[in-house]
Structure 1
Amino acid sequence: MHIFRISFINQAKVYQLYAESVKQAEVFGFLEIRNLIFGETSSVVIDPAEEKLKAEFGGVSRTLIPMHAVIRVDEVEKRGQCKIMELDGNANITPFPNSWFRPDKGADS
């Protein structure tokens, strides 16, 4: 089984999720993530950030993330802790606005 760690920006926060399947979506400009992996429910220690992610993505069979929001995708040997991190004001990571479709210069002329 392959395990992928996906880091992306969502609502000015950095999300870090683990999944079994990552591929380019059929929808242009999106990354498709399937089979999200969360921690064991029998674990004694409960991480509030991971519980928030479970609540947000509970019942989701696949999610589409805009390509411009993805920071990186790594294939890892074992699952780590899913996280939501605040985007530091001094960080080098900022959402970059992008228009995928631009009108041709000569289209209206």
Structure 2
Amino acid sequence: MKPLYKVTFHNAGRIYELYARKVASGALWGFTEVSELVFDVHDGMVIDPTEERLRDEFAATRVLHLPMQSIVRIEEVERKGQSAIRDATTGEKVVTPFPMPGKPR
């Protein structure tokens, strides 16, 4: 079985936690390559909005080239946990709520 990595990095004032099957030193100096991103696949009605947002954001991504200074940590893990986007200052999860009917945006 291929190894699984939890990659935590800064991006635009937020902390992203993603899971990937491949992590390597990049061909571009100062960058780390993260590829084969892993997302939960739900067949039922319960959908994690954060996981869905991350899947949409990185759907067409083959390889992430992350600057080394943006990486907080890379862990090899046995199983996938919950992917997350957190506020960099508070550490609280950032969840985009579903639009409410009748409320203006």
CA deviation profile, 1:84-106 (whole Å, cap 9, x unmatched): 001125x7xxxxxxxxxxxxxxx
**Pairwise mapping of residues 1-109 of structure 1 onto structure 2 (< 5 A)?**
1-88=2-89
SS in 1 for 2:64: strand
Q: Normalising by structure 1, report the TM-score.
A: 0.78
Q: Secondary structure at the match of 2:47?
A: coil
Partner Cα distance (1:43, 1:81) in 2: 17
- Larger CA Rg, structure 1 vs 2: 1
Normalising to structure 2: TM-score of the pair?
0.81
- How many residues are treated as equivalent by the alignment? 90
Alpha-carbon distance in 2 for matches of 1:85, 1:17: 12
Deviations 1:31-73 (A, max 9, x none): 1001000001314421111111111100211110100000000
User: What is the distance in 2 between the residues matched to 1:20 and 1:43?
Assistant: 25
Which one-letter code corresponds to 1:72 in the other structure?
R
Moved >4 Å (runs of 4+): none
- The letter of the residue matching 2:66 is I
**Can you give the 5+ residue segments of structure 1 that lack an aligned partner in the other structure?**
92-109
Q: CA RMSD in A?
A: 1.3
* SS across alignment from 1:36: strand
Aligned-pair identity (%): 33
Q: Which moved more, 1:37-46 or 1:24-33?
A: 37-46
Q: Residue type matched to 2:12 in 1?
A: Q
